[in-house]
A and B are shown apart, each in its own frame.
Chain A
Amino acid sequence: MAVEVRIPTILRQYTGGAKTVEGTGDTLAALIDDLESRHPGLRERLVENGSLRRFVNVYVNDEDVRFLGAEKTPLNDGDNVTVLPAVAGGS
Chain B
Amino acid sequence: MLSIRRDLVDAIVEHARKDHPDEACGVIAGPEGSDRPERFVPMLNAARSPTFYEFDSMDLLRLYREMDDNDEEPVVIYHSHTATEAYPSRTDIAYANEPGAHYVLVSTRDDDTHEFRSFRIVDGVVTEEEVQVTDGE
Query: A residues touching B (Cβ–Cβ < 8 Å)?
Result: 8-10, 55, 57, 59, 62, 64, 66, 82, 84-91
The reply to whether A84 and B52 form a contact with Cβ atoms under 8 Å apart is no
The reply to whether A91 and B23 form a contact with Cβ atoms under 8 Å apart is yes
Other-chain contact of A66, B25, B51, B57, B84 (Cβ < 8 Å) = B57
Q: Which B residues between 35 and 94 are near A, CB-CB below 8 angstroms?
A: 43, 47, 49-55, 57-58, 60-61, 64, 73, 77, 79, 81-84, 88-89, 91-92
B residues near A59, Cβ cutoff 8 Å:
57, 61
B residues near A64, Cβ cutoff 8 Å:
57-58, 61
The reply to whether A86 and B81 form a contact with Cβ atoms under 8 Å apart is no
Query: In the complex the two chains form, what is the Cα distance from A77 to B85 in whole Å?
Result: 50
A residues near B53, Cβ cutoff 8 Å:
88-90
The reply to whether A86 and B54 form a contact with Cβ atoms under 8 Å apart is yes
Query: In the complex the two chains form, what is the Cα distance from A90 to B55 in whole Å?
Result: 12
Closest-CB distance, B119 to chain A (whole angstroms): 11
5 further A-B pairs in the complex, CB-CB below 8 A; given A62-B61, A87-B97? A10-B97, A57-B57, A86-B95, A89-B52, A90-B52
Closest-CB distance, A31 to chain B (whole angstroms): 18
**12 contacting pairs across A/B (C-beta < 8 A):** A8-B64, A57-B57, A64-B57, A84-B64, A88-B91, A89-B52, A89-B79, A89-B88, A89-B92, A90-B49, A90-B51, A90-B53
Tell me if B99 is interfacial: C-beta within 8 Å of chain A: yes
Name which residue of chain A comes closest to B63, CB basis. Answer: A87
Closest-CB distance, B74 to chain A (whole angstroms): 8
Query: In the complex the two chains form, what is the Cα distance from A89 to B50 in whole Å?
Result: 11
The reply to whether A57 and B61 form a contact with Cβ atoms under 8 Å apart is yes
The reply to whether B97 and A91 form a contact with Cβ atoms under 8 Å apart is no
The reply to whether B96 and A89 form a contact with Cβ atoms under 8 Å apart is yes
